Structure 1
Amino acid sequence: MSWLRALKETTRSGLKVERNRLEPLFALRATAGLALVVISTFLLAGPEAAVSSAFGAFQAAIATFQRSWRPRPVLALASGTTLAITTFLGYLAGAHLLIFLSLLAVWTFVAGLSWALGPTVGVIASSNVAMVLVTVTLPTTIPEAAGHAGVIFLGGFVQAALIVLFPIRRWGAQRDALADALAAEADYARRLRHDPTAPFDPAPLMAAREAAVVTARQARTRPAELHGARGLAERIRPVLASLADPAVGAAAEGPERDRVRELLAAAGEILDAAARAIRHGEPVALPPAAVAALRTPDTGAILAGPPRRAATRLGALLDDVVETAAPGTAAAPPRTFLTRLAVVFRRAPAPQQQTPTHSDTRPIPLIRPSVPALGPKAARALKKELRQGSSPYLRHAIRVTAVVVIGYVLGEFLPFGHGYWAPLASVMVMRPDFSQTYGRAVARFGGTIVGVSVASAIVVVTDPGVPLSITLAIICAGLMYLLLRTGYVVGQVMIAAYIVFLLGTIGADVNQTVYERVLLTLLGGLLAMLSYAVYPAWETPRLRTRLADWLIADGRYAAAVVHHYAEPAGHACPDVRQALLDARAARIAWREAKARAANEPVRHRGLSRSAADDAGEALAQIARIGMLMEAHLPERGATPVPAAARLADALREATEQGAKAVRERKVPDWKPVRECLERWDGDGVPDRVVLRGARLLLDGLDELSDALEPSPPR
């Protein structure tokens, strides 16, 4: 992509405004917390203390709107505490330019590197740097620094207290994540009716797993319906795929296929009903037609072999999902709402073949470490990034530090006054990837023009006093909270106006024109954009490495599944589960990298866009085949398939060598897997699923090689 086109695309994305669902109650609570803090400190300690507390309460509320599974009060307290500490140090060093620049460089570098710990930490750390740039310009003395830091902390504390005292839709984010996962599987079941090999995006399941990781205290208070449904959703997906796929499931046409379509449609309706119940905390309203379709006694006579086993497991899992979605409610269906399954599937496998139901297994919660316990883990992660010279987060930290320091120095020496607007704009728009940095820079500039112009015009025309300025600032903050998810440019309009009104309460910026403010914001944005062009961290050259990582993860997952056909251990296989999670993480990393690379002004360097698309589809098919085989893992004590052990070793060896070839821009060769299939001697009992799955895996690997074949010269 050329630079001109890349700038056009990033500009469009930065100025994009979306019609997302608004959350007025959350915005009202955050605005009330800000108003309470600002008005109280103004009445008790004057306008300067009110401004300091306003920044603390404002930033703490912003932190609670970030996508994080941590409790919202913790986010508010963490934001208020860190901002108070950094502001206190900034007050002490603010009178000495060199000392302040040194501290500013350290803060900014740590903030830039903290993106490696996650976007929520990165946003809070970057916002702290931005707020410090503003607050240290407020007139104060060293003895008063602790007082100002204290009222900043007070702002965060009040926001946290309001969340505790006035909870809104408790566990709402976790409910939405789990409901989204079940709804995604419902949609998947419906798509399988028409396309037996339809793809499935694992992102909703991964989000549900992240949401299910709770602290020890949360685990004791979490609603019962959020305990086990996620694990059931994980087990339903491969069953749905194995039931629909002609390779290991029902025949492509005929009575079996018709019956499978009915079961998939019924499964989709029941999963949707469970998703609605979990999202709203209500009893499950089962669609009678779907229940009747699952109870039809014809299934046992129509389906046989693997399809019948999959249908039996699907009925049991759906039963558990419904029971888990609304436990202990009078309107919930009685235990085993499909009570006639034993009659429907008379010729089903013996009980030991069945998957344990929800009532037989107590899900073990995934425990999230407390905030103090995260310190050593975070330190190790940051140390790892420092050791990697090519780390995009390290390069981002170096970039943003240089830009903020240079911007601050230029702002100090330019004849505009209040030069912090330049580094403030830079630190708020800079992100570790190109598209977000450039898009946010454009949005920041456009939003600042509008926000500062309107706010300054109001100040000039009305000459508001301190009470009215505080009121206008609170109104702007409330609108920003309300419209935060509609687009970055909308938020910037409100933030720019908020800062103008707030600083106007202490007489700041009275003589500074709109023209000068806009110029400083433009300077900060240009410095941010120029820094990425001079010292980039392009994702495009790393696409082959991401693809190789995904190939290794898929190979280990497939090998782990195949190995358990040689050593049957049932469906509870921790190594298979971990390999599946690694494969999903690699897939998401590939998809995010590919999306970032799509807008970069860099040539593909050996991996064209079409080749990347085809290679991604091939690896997705390999993961899907592994999932099909996982759905039919033999129970403990079943007859082993010795040849499967050799196939598992061949898969590990071939995919590791293939990943090396991908990184070196060569075409992978799957000789070990091919030779293993040619030598397949049927030791023990030949298994239709593993043998057919092995051939499909080889087909997927061949498709990957075809996708990576160099294009013939034109």
Structure 2
Amino acid sequence: MSWLRALKHTARTGMKVERTRLEPLVALRAAVGLAIVIGFGLAFLGPGAAASSAFGAFMAAIATFQKSWRPRPVLALASGLTLAVSTFVGYLVGSSHTGLFLALLAVWTFAAGLLWAAGPTAGIIASGNVAVMLVTVTLPTSVAQAAGHAAMIAAGGVVQALLIVLFPIRRWGAQRDALADALAAEADYARRLRHDPVCAFDPQPLMRARDAATVTARQARRRPAELHGARGLAERVRPVLASLADPAVGAPAEGPARDRVRELLDAAGTVLDAAARAIRHGDPVRLPAPALAVLKSPDTADLLTGAPQRAARRLAALLDDVLETAEPRSGRLVAPDESMLRPTLTALVPTVLRSVRAELHPDSPILRHAVRVTAVACAGYLIGQALPFGHGYWAPMASVMIMRPDFSQTYARAVARFTGTLVGVAVATGIVQLAQPGMYLSGFLAVVSAGLMYVLMRTGYAVSQVCVSAYVVFLLGMGGVRWDQTVPDRVALTLVGGLLAMLAYALYPAWETPRLRTRLADWIAADGRYAAAVLGHYAAPADARRADVRTALLAARDARIDWQDAVDRAAGEPVRHRGLSRAAADGAGEAVAAFGRNAMLLEAHLPDRSQAPVPGAAALAEAVRADTEAGAKEVRERGVPGWERVRALVTEEGAPVWGARDPGVLRSAGVQLLDALDEVSEALRT
């Protein structure tokens, strides 16, 4: 993609308005918290303290809207307290010497950039703290006032946290939605299998549900019963659905058996949808009787035999468990040690430090982002001070809020922020000129603007920036600053900050395109370890551990999501493919997905511990593991893998390995695994 096309694409992306479900009650609660701290500050402490507390409450509320499974009060407190510390330290350093403040800004910004290694929530909160610190350090005039302003900022976060505790809205709502989405995705998959027996399944909903199911010890004691267990059952339903539908291991492609399979898949979709609705709304399960009749029909045993019959029985049993688990207030008790426990914030520190250390190498996109954002923030601060405007902090503040570790988001947000600033400032200016608001009316208008931003935050960055710009104009007007003293400065310096952010990424990029081969190699190796773990279960059923298969599957899913995200980011980058064209990436991705799917079909029929080892399974497991590891290395080095070990086993050369009793299903699966690997090689030759 050329630079011109990339810029057009990112501009359209930045201006996109998304249709998403709004959360007006949550936004109202956040706006009420902001109103409380602004009103208290104006009534008892003056407009300066009110502005400080407003920034604390504003950023604390934004933190609670991030996509995180941690308790919302914890996010609000973390945001408010870290911003208070940043403001106080920033004033102590900045009040004595500009050079020292610039050094502090560099250290603070670099640390905030590295915190993206801990995830987007930590990165967004840290970036927001740096941006707001640039404003709040200008408000106090003494150390005592700086301490007071820091206390008010922290109080703003405390108020937001208390409101969440006192007025919970749809408790466990995000976790309910994640689990319901996973079950609904399974239902959609079951219906699509009726028409396309080898259709693809996106594991993202299941991964999101797993993240939601990881809780703190305190949450584990309070979690509703219906949120425990259904996710694990959904994970086990998926391979059974696939094995039932696939003509290679399930029912024939046509005939009465295939018709019964279609009926079973449709009934499974109905059951899973009913469970999803019950979990999402906390209501009893309402299931149409015909769906249960199909699943329990005795005719199934006459129409299906062998592996399809076993899959049908397994599906009925799993769906019974899903319905029992999804029933609200079922009385099932959940012990904390049965849950996947999430560490507390203090216990998370060593993990974050390890993640940051892992990114300290020249090719890391996180390190490059930290260097870029630090250089831009410092340059923007110096430029803002040198220009004949007031409020020079707006240039670095805009840059820090715009910049992200990848190209598309940075450029899209730069366009969206400038456009949103123009519109928001124009609207706020018109209101100020017409209404001539005083201190309290300006505070009220600031709260209204912030409330609208909370409501519309997830509809698009440009829309939210309209409200944020109006909020800042009204907030500064609350302290007596006239609109004509701030509007031209804000617009011009926002443009400067956006241009600096875009220029920095062009000069010191972290392109995803050259890393596509590495991402593909990681996925191949992870899928190979998953397939080998499954085959190892066939080789030694008595000694096998399902936990090993589960761990390998999760690693393969993570690698697949990393690959898909990398392909999406690379699609908008203005660089050549550098060794992996778009067509090759698409073909190789489909082939590796097919390889993983074949391994999943094998997982659906794992033998019991009492069964005898399957001849040839151990040799095939070792061949798959060795070939995929070697193949991944070839892909990284721009070569084309050959898969010789697997080929030797599943062709005529490997006949003696399987023994006299040919394990038909397993050997057939080996052929399918090899076919998928050959398709990977064929795609890489294009």
TM, length-normalised to structure 1:
0.94
Q: Does 1:602 align with 2:578?
A: no
Separation in 1, partners of 2:632, 2:304? 40
Separation in 2, partners of 1:696, 1:643? 16
Separation in 1, partners of 2:397, 2:481? 16
Q: Which residue identity lines up with residue 340 of structure 2 in the other structure?
A: L
Alignment-derived partner of residue 697 in structure 1:
673
Alignment of 1:563-578 (within 5 A): 563-569=536-542, 573-578=546-551
How far apart are 1:571 and its partner, in Å? 8.6
Alignment-derived partner of residue 611 in structure 2:
638
How far apart are 1:568 and its partner, in Å? 1.0
Query: Which of 643, 654, 663 is residue 679 of structure 1 equivalent to?
Result: 654
Task: Say if 1:221 and 1:521 are closer, same or farther in 2 by CA, change over 3 A.
Answer: same
Task: Say if 1:359 and 1:576 are closer, same or farther in 2 by CA, change over 3 A.
Answer: farther
How far apart are 1:510 and its partner, in Å? 4.7
Alignment-derived partner of residue 41 in structure 2:
41
Q: Secondary structure at the match of 2:569?
A: helix
Q: Which residue identity lines up with residue 93 of structure 2 in the other structure?
A: A
Separation in 2, partners of 1:166, 1:235? 37
Aligned partners of 1:469 and 1:505 also within 8 Å: yes
Task: Say if 1:513 and 1:132 are closer, same or farther in 2 by CA, change over 3 A.
Answer: closer
Q: Give deviations 1:213-252, integer Å, cap 9, x for gaps.
A: 0000100000000110000000000000001101111111
Separation in 1, partners of 2:482, 2:589? 53
Taking every aligned residue pair, what percent have the same amino acid on both sides?
67
Q: Does 1:74 align with 2:47?
A: no
Alignment-derived partner of residue 459 in structure 1:
432
How far apart are 1:112 and its partner, in Å? 0.7
Query: Which of 364, 368, 377 is residue 338 of structure 2 equivalent to?
Result: 364
How far apart are 1:462 and its partner, in Å? 3.2
Query: Which of 412, 430, 438 is residue 385 of structure 2 equivalent to?
Result: 412
Q: Which residue identity lines up with residue 30 of structure 2 in the other structure?
A: A
TM, length-normalised to structure 2:
0.97
Unaligned runs of 5+ in 1: 331-357
Aligned partners of 1:641 and 1:684 also within 8 Å: no
Separation in 1, partners of 2:236, 2:337? 13
How far apart are 1:646 and its partner, in Å? 0.7
Separation in 2, partners of 1:22, 1:532? 33
Alignment-derived partner of residue 59 in structure 1:
59
Query: Which of 585, 589, 603 is residue 616 of structure 1 equivalent to?
Result: 589
Task: Say if 1:109 and 1:359 are closer, same or farther in 2 by CA, change over 3 A.
Answer: closer
Aligned partners of 1:274 and 1:321 also within 8 Å: yes
Alignment-derived partner of residue 151 in structure 2:
150
Alignment-derived partner of residue 640 in structure 2:
667
Separation in 1, partners of 2:440, 2:533? 67
Separation in 2, partners of 1:531, 1:475? 35
Q: Secondary structure at the match of 1:140?
A: coil
Q: Does 1:393 align with 2:366?
A: yes
Aligned partners of 1:571 and 1:635 also within 8 Å: no
Separation in 2, partners of 1:93, 1:459? 35
How far apart are 1:328 and its partner, in Å? 4.8
Alignment-derived partner of residue 707 in structure 1:
683
Task: Say if 1:522 and 1:361 are closer, same or farther in 2 by CA, change over 3 A.
Answer: closer
Q: Secondary structure at the match of 1:526?
A: helix
Alignment-derived partner of residue 341 in structure 1:
none
Aligned partners of 2:10 and 2:572 also within 8 Å: yes
Q: Secondary structure at the match of 1:646?
A: helix
Separation in 2, partners of 1:539, 1:73? 35
Alignment of 1:279-678 (within 5 A): 279-326=280-327, 328=329, 364-386=338-360, 388-508=361-481, 510-512=483-485, 514-569=487-542, 573-677=546-650, 678=653
Separation in 2, partners of 1:442, 1:40? 36
Separation in 1, partners of 2:544, 2:26? 43
How far apart are 1:153 and its partner, in Å? 0.4
Aligned partners of 1:570 and 1:633 also within 8 Å: no
Task: Say if 1:360 and 1:432 are closer, same or farther in 2 by CA, change over 3 A.
Answer: closer
Q: Give deviations 1:272-296, integer Å, cap 9, x for gaps.
A: 0000000000110011110111121
Separation in 2, partners of 1:497, 1:141? 29
Alignment-derived partner of residue 133 in structure 2:
132
Aligned partners of 1:570 and 1:635 also within 8 Å: no
Separation in 1, partners of 2:102, 2:681? 53
Q: Does 1:109 align with 2:110?
A: yes
Separation in 2, partners of 1:362, 1:130? 39
Separation in 2, partners of 1:369, 1:594? 32
Q: Secondary structure at the match of 1:647?
A: helix
How far apart are 1:77 and its partner, in Å? 0.5
How far apart are 1:657 and its partner, in Å? 1.0
Task: Say if 1:571 and 1:274 are closer, same or farther in 2 by CA, change over 3 A.
Answer: farther
Separation in 1, partners of 2:268, 2:435? 63
Aligned partners of 2:38 and 2:53 also within 8 Å: yes
Alignment-derived partner of residue 259 in structure 2:
258
**17-26 vs 213-222, greater mean Cα deviation:** 17-26
Separation in 2, partners of 1:295, 1:561? 30
Q: Which residue identity lines up with residue 422 of structure 1 in the other structure?
A: A
Q: Which residue identity lines up with residue 698 of structure 1 in the other structure?
A: L
Aligned partners of 2:22 and 2:455 also within 8 Å: yes
Aligned partners of 2:239 and 2:604 also within 8 Å: yes
Separation in 2, partners of 1:642, 1:194? 35
Aligned partners of 2:226 and 2:330 also within 8 Å: no
Separation in 2, partners of 1:250, 1:443? 53
Aligned partners of 1:60 and 1:159 also within 8 Å: yes
Q: Which residue identity lines up with residue 223 of structure 1 in the other structure?
A: P
How far apart are 1:687 and its partner, in Å? 2.3
Q: Give deviations 1:57-79, integer Å, cap 9, x for gaps.
A: 00000000000000000000000
Separation in 1, partners of 2:28, 2:179? 26
Separation in 1, partners of 2:287, 2:464? 42
Q: Secondary structure at the match of 2:338?
A: coil
Total equivalences in the alignment: 682
Alignment of 1:227-238 (within 5 A): 227-238=228-239
Task: Say if 1:69 and 1:470 are closer, same or farther in 2 by CA, change over 3 A.
Answer: same
Q: Give deviations 1:243-268, integer Å, cap 9, x for gaps.
A: 11011111111111111111100000
Q: Which residue identity lines up with residue 211 of structure 1 in the other structure?
A: A
Q: Secondary structure at the match of 1:315?
A: helix
Aligned partners of 2:631 and 2:641 also within 8 Å: yes
How far apart are 1:327 and its partner, in Å? 5.0
Separation in 1, partners of 2:489, 2:460? 26
Task: Say if 1:33 and 1:570 are closer, same or farther in 2 by CA, change over 3 A.
Answer: farther
Alignment-derived partner of residue 355 in structure 1:
none
How far apart are 1:137 and its partner, in Å? 1.7
How far apart are 1:443 and its partner, in Å? 0.2
**268-277 vs 296-305, greater mean Cα deviation:** 296-305
Aligned partners of 1:571 and 1:634 also within 8 Å: no
Separation in 2, partners of 1:198, 1:89? 56
Q: Give deviations 1:521-547, integer Å, cap 9, x for gaps.
A: 100000000000000000000000000
Alignment-derived partner of residue 30 in structure 2:
30
How far apart are 1:376 and its partner, in Å? 1.3
Separation in 1, partners of 2:43, 2:372? 42
Alignment-derived partner of residue 337 in structure 1:
none
Q: Give deviations 1:189-208, integer Å, cap 9, x for gaps.
A: 00011111010000000000
Q: Secondary structure at the match of 2:359?
A: helix
Separation in 2, partners of 1:274, 1:550? 32
Q: Secondary structure at the match of 2:345?
A: coil
How far apart are 1:513 and its partner, in Å? 5.3
Aligned partners of 1:641 and 1:686 also within 8 Å: no
Aligned partners of 1:632 and 1:689 also within 8 Å: no
Separation in 2, partners of 1:622, 1:198? 13
Q: Which residue identity lines up with residue 311 of structure 1 in the other structure?
A: A
